[in-house]
Amino acid sequence: MTIETTLLDRCKFKCELCSSDGNLTPYIVPPHSHLTVDHCVMLCETCSHEIDEPSDINHWRCLNDSMWSQVPAVQVLAWRQLTRLNTEAWAQDALDMMYLEEETLNWAMQGMSDEDKPLDCNGVELKKGDDVTVIKDLPVRGTNQVIKQGTVIRGISIGDDPKLVSGKANGGQSMYVIAEYCRKK
């Protein structure tokens, strides 16, 4: 039995992310580079074209179902897409519910580029709800105010730009700060 036949048998001839049954092809989940049953998923044409740069946000609502797959490669792709789409409330909710074994989570994080996730000054990934400390005095654009070094920003949110985090500090004042000027508490 070939690898592709085994993958088709595993997925019952449906896309492993959206359950579409048309034009399935194997997708090797990075950072792996060889076609193996453990490191590949079967994707439809739509998922294949949008996997690296999702543009049809509503298409990815299918992840609410596929994130529960028992196949680690499918879990990795679902986690990565939900992470890329975490500015959408439904994607953040799904990501908050998702559980990955440590080995699977490490695989998922290896394949993400640093541009897709906010990192603090030490390269630690920042997540929604984290508390961070500002590491240097930062002028606030359009004002003469300064966010002082040592300011704690509680319960951060991640916006459309993963290089920015937002949260409240100094008695409830909302602010945006560049993630690399923060340190996770």
* 138 plus 106 within the same structural domain: no
Could you give the number of structural domains in the chain?
A: 2
* 143 plus 89 within the same structural domain: no
Report how far residue 11's alpha carbon sits from residue 128's, in angstroms, rounded to the nearest whole number: 33
Report how far residue 142's alpha carbon sits from residue 144's, in angstroms, rounded to the nearest whole number: 7
* 166 plus 102 within the same structural domain: no
* 29 plus 74 within the same structural domain: yes
- Is a pLDDT exceeding 80 seen at residue 10? yes
Range of the domain at 93: 3-112
What is the predicted pLDDT for the residue at 111? 63
* 97 plus 166 within the same structural domain: no
* Residue of 1 and 116 predicted with greater confidence: 1
The DSSP symbol for 43 reads: E
Report the pLDDT averaged over residues 134-153. 86
What is the percent of the chain where pLDDT is above 70?
Answer: 94
Provide the mean pLDDT of the chain: 87
Domain boundary among 57, 82, 112: 112
Beta-carbon-side half-sphere exposure of residue 132 (alpha carbons within 13 Å): 35
